[in-house]
Every structure is written in C-alpha cells, then in structure tokens.
C-alpha cells in the first residue's frame, strides 16, 4: 500500500515513536464526511508571509476558494464552510471554533511558507499535522503561523497564557496529542502525494508541529504550506492562475481520496472489528482524570501533579488523561495516587494505539 510505503519514506523519522506505532492501524472512525471547513490562512491586518510581489493571505484565499468550488461542483453532498471568504482578520481560536461549532468532519488550513533570504533557494510543499515537532525547521514554521495571535485582542485569554515567542510554550503545545492523528496523517499524506505526482511540485513531506489552529480543532485537521514565497519561482507559480488551480485541484483530489477511504473503510465489516494485535507494544493504560464540556485551565497548581497531561477533544468537550502505564498494576497505583491528589474520580482506561479498548481486552492482550 502506497500510504504505508510513502509514510515509511518521509514520516517515520520525523514522527515521535508513539505516532509511528499509530500509523500501523486502521484509520477509520466516522462513516460519512458531510462537512469540510476550508481555512484560508491569515487575512485583514495579518498578511502572513510576504513575497516580492505578493502576500500569503491573498494566495491562500484564492486557493481556498477554488478548493471549495471544486468540492461544491463535484461533491454536492458535502457542505463547504469557509472560515473567511474575503480579506478579513479572523483570530485562530475562532477559526477552530467555526469548525467545531459546525461539527465539521475535516479541517484544511491553507498557507504559504517563507524563509529568510539566505535560504531563498528552498522550495516545495509541506503538510503539517498536530504533534511533536522534531526539527528546528518545523518549529519555526509553527512559530510563524502561531505568532498571528499576537495581533489578536486579549490573546492570553483565549490561549491559556500561551506565548508564541516562548520556545517552551511551543514544545508544550506540540505535546497535546490530537485524538485524530491517524486520520490527519492519512489526509496529509494524500495531499503531499497529489502535490508531488499530480501538480509535479517538490514535496517536502508530511510533518508534525504544534499549531494553535490545529490543536483547537476537534476533527482530523491538516495545515498545508503550498510553497515558499521566499523563492522567486515558487512565488511566481503560486501567483499564476495555473499554479493556483493545480494546487487547489491537488487539495481537492486529496480530500476526495480521503473521503473515499474513510467511507469505504467504514462500510467494510472487517474494519469495524479490531484486528487481532500481534505485537502488544502499543497496548497501555491511562488514567482518565477528568472530563469537561469547556476547556479548563490546566496551568493551575492542581494539575502540576500530572506527569504527562494529554488533552483529548471528544464529542461533547474534553477529556484529560495521565501518562501511560504499561501494566494494570502500575495503572492501579497511579489511579490511587491521582485519587489522593485532587482527582477523586480518576479512572483507569485502556488503549491500543490511540484507540480506546476495554480493560478486559487490554489485560488479555498483555497477558495480565
């Protein structure tokens, strides 16, 4: 399968170990893709990257509108929602809220990349999913895209004090593991495949980093960097009608393939039942510390006792999970610790990869 081979090519060494394990499982969850949110990056007072002759916000919007048009023309049963359809400033949290409110099945954020003049020779596409960054380059792309929030009024209120200028804050952000990582990677891979093979662009691959806009979306979400405005030729390409329509149709085709894969996968019976797991390296327990409908402030001292807090967006809000435990006994000890330290409702839950499984199944797989 193409997907896994390509992933082995670019993603494996970029992704943290957890994510590597996760790519080896079936990916399908919801049966129908009914709504897609297309997010043209930046807008209004926020121009995004500046090329010699163009601005990121303008190109992103043109491509975004064209993607939406292709979807509307060819998939009448899919609802397209734009976060902006004109030159308007939209805060990052609002972009995510638009997607969450409309219960979108997919979120696609469209951007253009940029590097300092010294690196103006670099070109190519990149598609990001939420996750641990592994290179300085990924970090700087995310930092640049997140800096937008400094232009927002009251930004600290909306992002729990997250400061895009602080490298530590960025690393913390990237550690929130999106519950939809599998699907996001599948979609991202299809994007890069289209850019490379249909639009004949140079693909820099699927990457992970901490993006504010991706973190807050409760659905599979990708952020596409369509090319570098700091590269003269690529800027000209992205400004041309041909370039924009090639990029837009690549994104559309990737979305279409993704939809087909998810919907066919959901239809097939085999995929609904968990396959037998041969290696049990990816079976583990976590402590479900708390659930909430609104995001709660986890910067407060009560949360300091939690080793590796994981926030998981669920249908009606959020779940807050502890670090992994490798055995049921270890999980029992951690549960008792958390119950004594401010989380009286702490409960043990089990996973296979990022999929929730029954405790009894986990014990069986681990031979406990």
Q: How far is the CB of 151 from Zn ion (least distance, A)?
A: 13
- Give the count of residues interacting with Zn ion (CB under 5 A): 4
Q: Quote the distance between the C-alpha of residue 246 and its chain's center.
A: 23
Q: How far is the CB of 274 from Zn ion (least distance, A)?
A: 38
Binding segment for Zn ion (CB under 5 A), chosen from 35-43, 161-169, 253-261, 359-367, is 35-43
- Nearer Cβ to Zn ion (23/113): 113
Decide: 149 and 95 in contact? Cβ < 8 Å: no
Pick out residues in 133-152 that bind Zn ion (CB under 5 A).
145
Structure tokens at 150: 């400094």
- Nearer Cβ to Zn ion (105/126): 126
Q: How far is the CB of 124 from Zn ion (least distance, A)?
A: 16
Decide: 135 and 11 in contact? Cβ < 8 Å: no
Q: How far is the CB of 71 from Zn ion (least distance, A)?
A: 21
Q: How far is the CB of 48 from Zn ion (least distance, A)?
A: 4
* Dist. CA 364–CA 245, nearest whole Å: 52
Instruction: List, in sequence order, every beta strand (DSSP E) within 114-252.
Output: 125-130, 203-209, 221-228
Decide: 350 and 362 in contact? Cβ < 8 Å: yes
Binding segment for Zn ion (CB under 5 A), chosen from 36-44, 89-97, 201-209, 227-235, is 36-44
- Nearer Cβ to Zn ion (6/142): 142
Q: How far is the CB of 249 from Zn ion (least distance, A)?
A: 21
Pick out residues in 40-59 that bind Zn ion (CB under 5 A).
41, 48
Q: Of 171, 161, 94, give the one whose Cα is nearest residue 135.
A: 171
What distances in angstroms separate CA 108 from CA 32, 63, 140, one per listed residue?
17, 12, 20
Q: How far is the CB of 109 from Zn ion (least distance, A)?
A: 8
Interface map 106-135 toward Zn ion (x if CB under 5 A): -----x------------------------
Q: Give 349's strand partners.
A: 286
- Nearer Cβ to Zn ion (55/111): 111
- Nearer Cβ to Zn ion (72/165): 165
Binding segment for Zn ion (CB under 5 A), chosen from 103-111, 232-240, 304-312, 339-347, is 103-111
Decide: 119 and 266 in contact? Cβ < 8 Å: no
Q: How far is the CB of 41 from Zn ion (least distance, A)?
A: 4
Decide: 216 and 102 in contact? Cβ < 8 Å: no
- Nearer Cβ to Zn ion (22/145): 145
Please report which helix (H) or strand (E) contains residue 232, including its range: helix 232-239
- Nearer Cβ to Zn ion (6/247): 247
Q: Of 73, 54, 126, give the one whose Cα is nearest residue 256.
A: 73
Binding segment for Zn ion (CB under 5 A), chosen from 61-69, 104-112, 115-123, 326-334, is 104-112
- Nearer Cβ to Zn ion (223/262): 223
Cα-based torsion angle of the residue sequence 70, 71, 74, 76 in order, rounded to the nearest 10 degrees:
-140
- Nearer Cβ to Zn ion (207/259): 207
Q: What is the DSSP string of 61-108?
A: HHHHHHHHHHHHHH-TTSEEEES-SSS----HHHHHHHHHHTT-SEEE
* Dist. CA 70–CA 82, nearest whole Å: 13
Q: Quote the distance between the C-alpha of residue 20 and its chain's center.
A: 15
Q: How far is the CB of 57 from Zn ion (least distance, A)?
A: 8
* Dist. CA 352–CA 237, nearest whole Å: 44
Q: Does 91 contact Zn ion by CB under 5 A?
A: no
- What residues line the site for Zn ion (CB under 5 A)? 41, 48, 111, 145
């Amino acid at each position: 399968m193409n997907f896994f081979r390509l992933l082995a090519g670019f993603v494996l060494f970029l992704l943290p170990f957890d994510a590597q394990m996760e790519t080896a499982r079936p990916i399908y969850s919801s049966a129908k893709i009914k709504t897609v949110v297309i997010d043209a990056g930046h807008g209004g007072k926020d121009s995004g990257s500046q090329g010699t002759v163009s601005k990121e916000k303008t190109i992103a919007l043109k491509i975004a509108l064209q993607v939406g048009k292709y979807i509307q023309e060819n998939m009448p049963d899919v609802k397209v929602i734009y976060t902006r359809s004109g030159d308007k400033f939209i805060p990052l949290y609002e972009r995510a809220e638009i997607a969450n409110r409309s219960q979108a099945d997919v979120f696609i954020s469209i951007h253009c990349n940029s590097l300092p003049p010294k690196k103006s020779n670099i070109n190519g596409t990149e598609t990001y999913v939420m996750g641990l960054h592994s290179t300085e380059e990924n970090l700087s792309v995310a930092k640049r895209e997140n800096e937008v929030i400094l232009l927002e009024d009251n930004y600290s209120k909306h992002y729990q004090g997250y400061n895009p200028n602080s490298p530590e804050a960025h690393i913390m952000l990237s550690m929130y593991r999106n519950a939809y990582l599998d699907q996001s990677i599948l979609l991202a891979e299809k994007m890069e495949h289209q850019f490379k093979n249909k639009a004949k662009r140079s693909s820099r691959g699927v990457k992970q980093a901490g993006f504010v806009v991706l973190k807050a979306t409760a659905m599979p979400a990708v952020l596409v960097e369509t090319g570098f405005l700091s590269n003269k030729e690529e800027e000209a390409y992205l400004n041309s009608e041909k370039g924009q329509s090639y990029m837009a149709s690549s994104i559309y085709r990737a979305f279409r393939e993704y939809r087909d894969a998810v919907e066919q996968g959901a239809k097939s019976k085999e995929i609904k039942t968990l396959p037998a797991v041969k290696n049990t390296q990816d079976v583990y327990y976590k402590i479900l510390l708390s659930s909430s409908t609104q995001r709660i402030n986890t910067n407060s001292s009560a949360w300091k006792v939690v080793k590796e807090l994981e926030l998981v967006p669920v249908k009606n809000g959020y779940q807050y999970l502890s670090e992994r435990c490798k055995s049921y006994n270890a999980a029992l000890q951690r549960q008792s610790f958390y119950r004594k330290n401010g989380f009286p409702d702490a409960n043990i839950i089990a996973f296979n990869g990022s999929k929730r499984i029954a405790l009894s199944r986990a014990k069986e797989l681990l031979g406990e």
